[in-house]
Chain A
Amino acid sequence: MMYFDDRLYLIAGAALITIGLYALLAHRHFLRRILALNVMGSGVFMVLITYSARTAGSIPDPVPHAMVITGIVVSICATGLALVLAECVQALTGRTELSDERETSEHTGARPDTSDEQHQDQSP
């Protein structure tokens, strides 16, 4: 007596993981990558919750539910910390994406706007 079709949810979970991984690799803007990690996380949660719903027993397995609730709260903490790190990078280099090693050395060699940014940062 399946109350839902678990295969649909598993495929959707796999799709979320894949889409998130694609965006993580294909985009370079920090915020896109942080969003991508969150979407990947949602995909993993969906797989976990689907498995907990199809275990034998009268109600879904509560252990994965507790793990996912923990995961949701931990992932918002990681997101908050990552956002602040991204802002630090932007304040120091003026960029909103990670650059290749070569570009970085060029960039820091020139340092066109570092002092400017710091000045901006401190003004009210």
Chain B
Amino acid sequence: MLYLFDLVLLVVIVLLAWRSLNDADLFRGTVSFIALGLLIAVAWVRLRAPDVALAEAAVGSGLTGALILSALVRMRRRGRDAPRPNHAGGAIPRRLIGVLLLALFLCLCGAMLRLAQWPEGLTETALAELPASGVSNPVTAVLLNYRSYDTLLEVAVLLLAIVGVWSLRRAEWPGDVRESYPLLMPLLRIVLPTLVLAAAYVLWIGTSKPGGAFQGGALAGGAFVLMLLGGFGRRALRHRYRMRVALSCGLLVFIAASVGTMLLTGEILRYPAGFAGHWILAIEAAALISIACTLGLLYLGGRPEEAGDGTPVNRSVNGSKNGSMGR
């Protein structure tokens, strides 16, 4: 029975992947991609990886889909380059690509199926150190204790991405949709606090059960996107420093923790014995804020205008909107 479930799930995943990439209409393709992400999250649950499933459902499916859809809408609005059927690209004919890739697929399958069935792995090592790691969820222990150096660099990558985006373009705000969707505001009043609460819960529970800073950050990032859609927060975004502090606090706290642990224990990110849990939670809380802001601001696709930065026309438009937003 479960074998059948796996089979159907994977066939649908592969078909959806094909469809999302080859549909003549890019919009439909992106919607297929979002559905694909949700099904892949189900596959992670089947593979006993609930932490990954949480991250995939929120980031891989929801936020990536939102990013691509909003970029698609902006590109269509801007482009006279109307969506047209794709033509075969470059000098390599598609049939040749197809044959070569079929060969690659068979090679990949052969190579992967031949690998050892029950290799050693790091499970026992990870579990043996778990009591001393300060948390009881092994994945969080790997992320924030055993291999916290990786996570430090990952938080730096997040900051780097938003620096890149901000230096390339100025944001185009999504249009004000409050008039056309009267139910949006009442919905947001319920959904936004719930999402923030859920993000904090996922962060907290991540020390012992599936969850953690990335999953919570993704939830809060989704809340951020909804907030932008509802037209909240424009004034806060135009503030010169507040947003930058929020974006960089994860990395700054992480670096401070690295320096602090080096002074206390003589080794980077080796937490003082008995207090590892506190250090991890403090780093995760700061990282969650940065992750949420980064993912939410990626959605804007550019740097929000700051006070005194925008053109006069834009400023007056935003100003009048701010006035009505205070209510």
Contact = CB atoms under 8 A, between A and B. Distances in A.
Contact of A90 (B44, B55, B81, B141): B81
A33 B220 CA distance: 28
B124 A76 contact: no
B193 interface: no
Contacts of B60: 38, 42, 72, 75-76
Given A66-B139, A76-B64, A80-B67, A25 B92 contact: yes
Interface of A: 3-5, 7-23, 25-29, 31-32, 34-36, 38-39, 42, 45-47, 49-63, 65-70, 72-81, 83-88, 90-91, 94-96, 100, 113, 117, 120-124
B14 A28 contact: no
Contact of B30 (A35, A56, A68): A35
B192 interface: no
A10 B67 CA distance: 29
Contact of B10 (A12, A18, A58, A95): A12
A77 B121 contact: no
Contacts of B64: 38, 75-76, 79
Given A25-B92, A60-B47, A94-B81, A83 B40 contact: no
A69 B206 CA distance: 13
A15 B105 contact: yes
A99 B321 CA distance: 41
B21 to A, nearest CB: 4
Given A19-B18, A27-B89, A69-B139, A14 B48 contact: no
B88 interface: yes
A66 B213 CA distance: 12
Interface residues of B, number: 104
22 contacts: A3-B48, A9-B10, A11-B10, A15-B17, A18-B104, A22-B97, A25-B92, A27-B22, A31-B68, A39-B20, A42-B60, A51-B119, A52-B121, A55-B121, A60-B123, A68-B55, A72-B59, A73-B218, A80-B161, A80-B165, A84-B169, A87-B301
A59 B101 contact: no
B119 A16 contact: no
B229 to A, nearest CB: 17
Given A66-B143, A76-B67, A54 B117 contact: yes
Contacts of A122: 311
A91 B78 contact: yes
B108 A58 contact: no
B273 interface: no
A58 B123 contact: yes
Given A21-B101, A21-B104, A83 B126 contact: no
B319 to A, nearest CB: 12
B121 A69 contact: no
A72 B214 CA distance: 10
A35 B121 contact: no
B131 to A, nearest CB: 15
A72 B56 contact: yes
Contacts of A23: 21-22
B169 A88 contact: yes
Contact of A76 (B80, B88, B160, B298): B298
Given A32-B26, A62-B141, A87-B71, A26 B97 contact: yes
Contact of A61 (B92, B122, B295): B122
A19 B121 CA distance: 29
Contacts of A91: 78, 169
Given A11-B109, A23-B21, A49-B49, A78 B161 contact: yes
A80 B69 CA distance: 12
B68 A9 contact: no
Contacts of A45: 40, 52
B138 A29 contact: no
Contacts of A47: 112
Contacts of B199: none
A87 B169 contact: yes
Contacts of A61: 121-123, 126
Contacts of B181: none
